[in-house]
Amino acid sequence: MRVTEYIANRKKTIFSFEIIPPLKGKGIEDLCSGIDPLMEFNPPFINVTYHREEYDYKKMGNGLLKKVSVRKRPGTVGICAALMNRYKVDAIPHIICGGFTKEETESALIDLKFLGVDNILALRGDPMKNESAFVPTEGGNAYALNLIEQINEMNNGQYLYEETKNSPSNFCIGTAGYPEKHFEAMNLSTDMKHLKKKVDAGAEFIVTQLFYDNEKFFDFVKKCREIGIKVPIIPGIKPITNLRHLSFIPKFFHVNFPESFSNELEKCKTDEEIKRVGIEWTTAQCKELVKADIPVIHFYTMGRGTAVKNIAKEIF
């Protein structure tokens, strides 16, 4: 079932969340340990992230190092199949530009089509760890817009290098939005113009970057509507749960903590204190979003469901 259909048929705010594939060599038990505690809240769909390749250096017999490409978190297609089979929910795989040619992207989409996946979150993806900026793969899509256009072409029955149209896919395409703007954008206005292009190209729903100030989200939605973006906008939420998050989240996700929130966080000395304050803040955020009749609240769990479960108990 398509995300837009879930939203159209909802009777209340929907709970959903995102998981990270386990590291190579881990089993289904590692994956399910973070999912099982959240299934009581009846998520209709679960997002599955994709992590592009990294480079490792392996020692050769002659004492030299060889640069080797590795994927430390493989198996997104298999994980989607496992989720759909085990939990009877829709799985939403992330499809990224980085690390894939257009042909490889098309092959992955065909696999997902046969699997019965109805929804895709189309993203550019992050730069590789050794890159200061995103570098497109030769023969691949450079931007999320290009990826959305390719998926939309498949939805219209047009495949790469095929002169005639064939069996169309029916993917409901999602894209990312940034209430505090993408860190590479010149300003929020230009970022939203790019978002409008992605919607015009075929994106049917938006999932936002995490945020801690609801006013920024509400303002973002208002600005979207003013420029003609009418698709559902799903807020992305992540609770602060440890001291490391205080520096990691602003640096990695390029978001700000409201002053009243940061004042409370600064008083904390332990992970447990941070977790308590983080859960309280995020619970208040979610209650306000539900009151505003936001269609879906989407949680970034990072594979850990305890904090999200505590919040969901108060909301759903």
Catalytic residues: 18
The C-alpha atoms of residue 176 and residue 164 are separated, in whole angstroms, by 32
CA–CA dist 116, 206 (Å, integer): 21
Asked whether the beta carbons of 100 and 136 are under 8 A apart, the reply is no
Give the integer Cα–Cα distance in Å for 218 and 216.
Answer: 6
Which residues contact residue 237 at a Cβ distance below 8 angstroms, ignoring those fewer than 6 apart?
210, 211, 282, 285, 286, 297, 298, 299, 300
User: In whole angstroms, what is the distance from residue 255 CA to residue 257 CA?
Assistant: 7
Cβ neighbors of 310 (< 8 A, separation 6 or more) are 279, 283
Cβ atoms within 10 Å, residue 167: 10
In angstroms, rounded to a whole number, what is the distance separating the alpha carbons of residues 33 and 304? Answer: 8
CB 219 within 8 A of CB 252: no
Q: Checking DSSP bridges between strand 65-70 and strand 14-19, what pairing results, if any? A: unpaired
Q: Give the Å distances, CA to CA, from 190 to 3, 194, 215.
A: 27, 6, 20
Kindly compute the dihedral angle of the four CA atoms of residues 229, 93, 279, 234, in this order, to the nearest 10 degrees: 10
